[in-house]
Amino acid sequence: MASPRGTVDDSLWLDNTRAAASGTTYVPVDDSATGEEIARVRSATGEDVDRAFDSAARAQRRWADVSPADRVAVLAKAADILEGMADDLAVTMQAEVGTVASQVRGAQVGLGLTAMRLTAAAALDAITEREQIGGSDVVREPAGVVGAITPWNYPLFQVALKVAPAIAAGCAVVLKPAEVAPLTTFLVAEAFAEAGLPAGVLNVVCGGGASVGGAVAGHPRADFVSFTGSVAAGRKVAMAAARWGTRTSLELGGKSAAIVLDDDEEKVRAAVRHTTASCFGNAGQTCAALSRLIIPRRLLAEAEDEVRAVLEQVVVGDPSDAASTVGPLASREQRDRVAEHLRVAGKTAGVRTVAAKDVSHLTRGWYAPPTVVVADDPGAPIVQEEVFGPVLAIQPADDEAHAIELAEGTRFGLIARVWTDDDARFERVARRLRVGGVIQSDAPTVWDAPFGGVKDSGYGRERGAYGVEEYLVPKSLQRRAPQA
């Protein structure tokens, strides 16, 4: 199955089939490497969103009555089907997002399949968990009809993080993918239909965030709304849902820090290599990217030398070229946002550029220069604002207390890495950071551990059993005492 190209009028997925949207406007989808239009997707209207929620509401009760084991089996089969479509998925996401060939299989296709399979593995225990409190049995039931709104940076992974646990939990879904990267979503919908998902359990509507996304978030038939995206958009989603008292989960922005505590040159060099890989991966278009590096001040020169060595090895170019290590951003708009952040940084006192790649030879597509700056001013915009591009800010710290102060100095609270070999010191510092999760040094990410933020990074959790629980509600069954 190939992804849709050209003009896409049938941009709705309703009752397991493609249907024509009724909007009069089209959203262009660009090839990130060239800037050329590869598709024009007809936007949905409010009436189309109503049709999608009607379909989901009809299907939800029947799907909730299907056994959890059978629901999980459909999810696992859909993951297998999508794995067989890996070539189509990789090509589509490489064009939509710009992920380079060396990363698209792992960072895009692989993470999406991992999310689905880990959800399937964790779902049965989360759904069937039953506890007794006195004379009350507490069971967990589906939250109902779900409105899901996903971003463009990981079109399969982000969809999987919402659709997979919702379906496993027994919910029906109305999904609104990002307008600049909707094509992957049709492949996902086709895979679920082929896997045996009943008609109406998964529905897709396409279009702009303010119009179609707003209609999904504020729909009176939505029982739960899950959103991933910017802080500003997340607040609008929460306000739209609040009109009906609808519960929400928001996974928003980040300005995550890697904090080097050990006063050790080799530890700083390792942290620079790891952190730049995180910051530059997917061209910086990752909410959990480590975009700040906090290091002991006396080792700043060593860190700068390592940064320059890393930048020499970075190859910015066509994502289909195996030699490229950093590709383009997903859209002209995002490229221009990153350029503005860099322009402001260049005029900010206390911020200086350590190294940057020249991308002036890339005259087509949406490329931004991977850049590393040193910021002595913790209030500088390049430190405080989410760039969502390949830009790393190094912050020198005087001691451990100062490092924690710098790490805590933004309104975000998604993740952090703390570089130390001292386990007790790691936990002490990790517990002082107001973030959703902390990883020690270069330990691998545990993909079924709960993920989500605090402060302006949102609320709610995704991944594994915790992600499934978001789509369940507890119910108390209080029994009368046995008759004498």
Q: Report phi then psi at 12, rounded to 5.
A: -110, 145
* Distance of alpha carbon 192 from alpha carbon 188, whole angstroms: 6
- Joined together, the tokens standing for residue 93 give 């996401």
3-state secondary structure 60-93: HHHHHHCCHHHHHHHHHHHHHHHHHCHHHHHHHH
* Distance of alpha carbon 318 from alpha carbon 104, whole angstroms: 13
Catalytic position from the list 251, 306, 469, 470: 251
3-state secondary structure 386-430: CCCCCEEEEEEECCHHHHHHHHCCCCCCCEEEEECCCHHHHHHHH
Structural element, H or E, at residue 157: helix 155-169
At a CB cut-off of 8 Å and minimum separation 6, what does 218 contact? 240, 241, 243, 244
DSSP string computed for 223-267 = SEEEEES-HHHHHHHHHHHHTTT-EEEEE----EEEEE-S--HHH
* Distance of alpha carbon 468 from alpha carbon 123, whole angstroms: 6
- Joined together, the tokens standing for residue 268 give 């700083």
3-class DSSP assignment, residue 19:
strand
**CA–CA distances in Å: residue 218 to residues 58, 151, 214:** 19, 18, 6
Separation of CA 59 from chain center: 27
User: Are residues 391 and 356 in contact, defined by beta-carbon separation less than 8 angstroms?
Assistant: no
* Distance of alpha carbon 98 from alpha carbon 388, whole angstroms: 14
Residue 141 catalytic?
Answer: no
Task: Tell me which residues are annotated as active site.
Answer: 251
